[in-house]
Structures are given as C-alpha cells and as structure tokens.
Amino acid sequence: MKPSILVTRAIFPEVIERLAQYFDVDDNQQDAVLDAAALKARLAGKAGVLANAADRIDADLVSVLPGLRAVCNMAVGYNNLDVPALTAAGIVATNTPDVLTETTADFGWALLMATARRVTEAEHYLRAGKWQRWSYDMLVGVDLYGSTLGILGMGRIGQALARRAAGFGMTVLYHNRSQLPEATERSLNARYVSKAELLEQSDHLLLVLPYGPESHHAIGATELSQMKSTATLVNLARGGIVDDAALAKALREKRIFAAGLDVFEGEPRVHPDLLTVPNVVLTPHIASASEKTRKAMAMLAADNLIAALDAGPQAGQPPSVINLEVMSRRR
Ligand code: GLV
C-alpha cells in the first residue's frame, strides 16, 4: 500500500502526477482554504505533507499526528514550522533553497528600483490624469548608481543581491550573524559592518535575513531613526522583521525616503497605515514568482518528500533537509 500524503495547496499538475507514482495523494487542486482545524483533519493518517509557507505546523499539531514522517515546505523560509518539535518527533523537515535565489534577487532589484525611482507612484499619477506638463521636481527619486547598498542577512539571496550591485557601481556593506570568509567578501566586494553602521551608512537597505524571535521587529522605530532621511528600505524576507506601524509612521513623516515591501506581518493582511502612505511600493509576496522557479521549487519539495519517505529512486537523503539530525538518527 502506498503511503498517504497531503499537498496543502493547488500546485502544478505534473507535480501531483509525480507524487502519485509513489503516494496516495490527497491534493487540494481546488485550492480550498485550509484553516488550522481543516489542516489538522486532512493531515490525520498522513505520512508526509507538501506544505506552503503559510501552513503553520507546530508542536500541538505534531503531537496529534503520530504517523507523520516528513514535512516538506515549498519555500526557502521555514518559520511556519516548529523545527525543534518536528525534530523531537523524528519528522524530517525540508525547504527549497538555491532554486529560487536568482529569481528572488532579481525581484529584490525590481522592488529596489521601483522604490528609489517611485515607479508605482508615477504610474498611479499618470493613470489618474495628473500628468499635465513637465516640471523639474516631478516625481524625483534617489539614485542607485554610485550609492551605498546595505544588506542585512548575507545568505544565498543576500550574496546574489550583492553581485548585482557591481553593475551599479555601488559600495556594498552587510551585517550578518557571522562574517563571511574573506575570499567571499572580496569576490562580492562587500564589507562587514555592525548593524548600527549599516543603518547609518546605507543609502538603500535590503532585508534578507531569516525570521524568528531574534529578528522580530529587527527594524522598528529606533532603527528607522538611525537611517538617513534619503534612504530606502526593502523587505524581501518575512513580515514581522519590520514593525509595519513604525515604518508607516516614518514614511509619512519622511524620516526615510521610501520603502518597498514584498512581505507583511500577518499577511495577506496589510497594515492599514501602509495602504495610505504614497512612498511605499507594496507587492503580494511574489519575489520567487517566475514560472520556472515556482516549478523548480515544487519539484524540489516533491523530491524531498519522495526521498524522506524512502519512496522511488530518490530514497535516502532528501536534497535539502533542515533537521539533518533526524536523518542521522534514522540510519
Ligand atoms: C518565500 O518567501 C520563501 O521562503 O521561499
């Protein structure tokens, strides 16, 4: 008998077909909303789940799912998973790194440029019929070329963003939990600084750090007050890293120039204050959303699930395990 798995959200049909070779698949191709109770009910009796970054899989849920052996996120971030609880229960947790790095960094650049050069504000202005004539200060923005780029969180995506900065003649500063090896810093032309220096010196600050209790509201009123009044802030990482209310206030009072946000605390709800300030570009968590990358993420999540449940030719070590200690315990 094939093991049963749940795919929590609608997904590319070819991924369902692939999974169906090995598993009895409970899919959600109608994309019905699965709230916590529905998720719990649908997970009963399942050996694995292909989950989405919005599916909260915590200690309480794990405690009522004794048969669950693998939780495979279709996302690089995994703050939706209680990894210590999964590890304690011997459940393999996986994510989808690498395949989305360049697409996400491309989008980071799009959001940064739109923010610095007021692209969405300009389009709204034009569509509203406000463009009557040229004027020297119409929709003036701030430059990227030759400016100082700050990156908070220098993992794979941070490094991909730093590589793009070379073409813009930027000075790159970064802050991270740990400093990168010297050779990597040299190849990226990036200099490690303290968080305070990063806030004070960046003309453009990109947030690409993981979210957890230690990064909750890492950018709040105090940090915003340390930034230049001409600076921009872009959050590509997770909502909750920025205190959205404090940011809306800083934007309204022009204490920083502008912001670009792809992620929000409590998304898909967006803090109402952000919706009423003009100098913020808002996008609905789409940084990895190219068709090619989303297919690669879905296939990687499926490969992880197949390997984690010892099915098919991929039986063994899943390509991207978060809690390797579970794998070593299984051997
Ligand atoms: C998207 O936010 C991801 O973590 O992949």
Share of the chain above pLDDT 90, in %: 96
pLDDT band at 312 (very low <50, low <70, confident <90, very high): confident
Distance 51 CA to ligand 1 centre (A): 12
Contact 55, 79 (CB under 8 A): no
Distance 40 CA to ligand 1 centre (A): 23
pLDDT in tens, 156-188: 999 999 999 999 999 999 999 999 999 999 999
Closest atom of ligand 1 relative to the 100 alpha carbon:
5
* Identity at 12, one-letter amino acid code: F
In this structure, the answer to whether residues 178 and 304 fall within a common structural domain is no
Contact 80, 57 (CB under 8 A): yes
Distance 99 CA to ligand 1 centre (A): 11
pLDDT band at 314 (very low <50, low <70, confident <90, very high): low
In this structure, the answer to whether residues 112 and 21 fall within a common structural domain is no
In this structure, the answer to whether residues 63 and 134 fall within a common structural domain is no
Distance 240 CA to ligand 1 centre (A): 14
Residue nearest (by alpha carbon) to ligand 1 atom 3: 75
Q: Does 213 score more than 70 pLDDT?
A: yes
In this structure, the answer to whether residues 192 and 241 fall within a common structural domain is yes
- Joined together, the tokens standing for residue 98 give 């690498």
Q: Do β-strands 92-94 and 148-152 pair in parallel, antiparallel, or remain unpaired? A: unpaired
Residue nearest (by alpha carbon) to ligand 1 atom 4: 77
pLDDT value, residue 208 = 98
10 Å Cβ neighbour count for 121? 18
Question: Where in the sequence numbering do the catalytic residues fall?
Answer: 238, 267, 285
In this structure, the answer to whether residues 23 and 123 fall within a common structural domain is no
**CATH assignment of the domain containing 66:** 3.40.50.720
Mean pLDDT of 248-260: 98
Ligand 1 residue neighbourhood (C-beta within 6 Å): 53, 75-77, 100, 288
The separation between the first and the last C-alpha atoms of the chain, rounded to the nearest angstrom, is 23
In this structure, the answer to whether residues 68 and 122 fall within a common structural domain is no
Cα 319 vs. chain centroid, distance in angstroms?
20
In this structure, the answer to whether residues 41 and 106 fall within a common structural domain is no
How many domains, in total, are found in the chain?
A: 2
In this structure, the answer to whether residues 210 and 239 fall within a common structural domain is yes
pLDDT value, residue 164 = 98
CB burial readout 31-44, b (16+ within 10 A) else e: eeebeeeebeebbe
In this structure, the answer to whether residues 24 and 167 fall within a common structural domain is no
Task: Kindly report the average pLDDT of the chain as a whole number.
Answer: 97
Domain residues for the domain of 202 are: 101-282
Residue nearest (by alpha carbon) to ligand 1 atom 1: 75
pLDDT value, residue 330 = 75
In this structure, the answer to whether residues 57 and 111 fall within a common structural domain is no
Q: Does 40 score more than 70 pLDDT?
A: yes
Q: Does 327 score more than 90 pLDDT?
A: no
Residue nearest (by alpha carbon) to ligand 1 atom 5: 75
In this structure, the answer to whether residues 51 and 126 fall within a common structural domain is no
The DSSP element (H or E) to which 206 belongs, if any, is strand 204-207
pLDDT in tens, 97-125: 999 999 999 999 999 999 999 999 999 99
Please give the model's pTM, rounded to 2 decimal places: 0.96
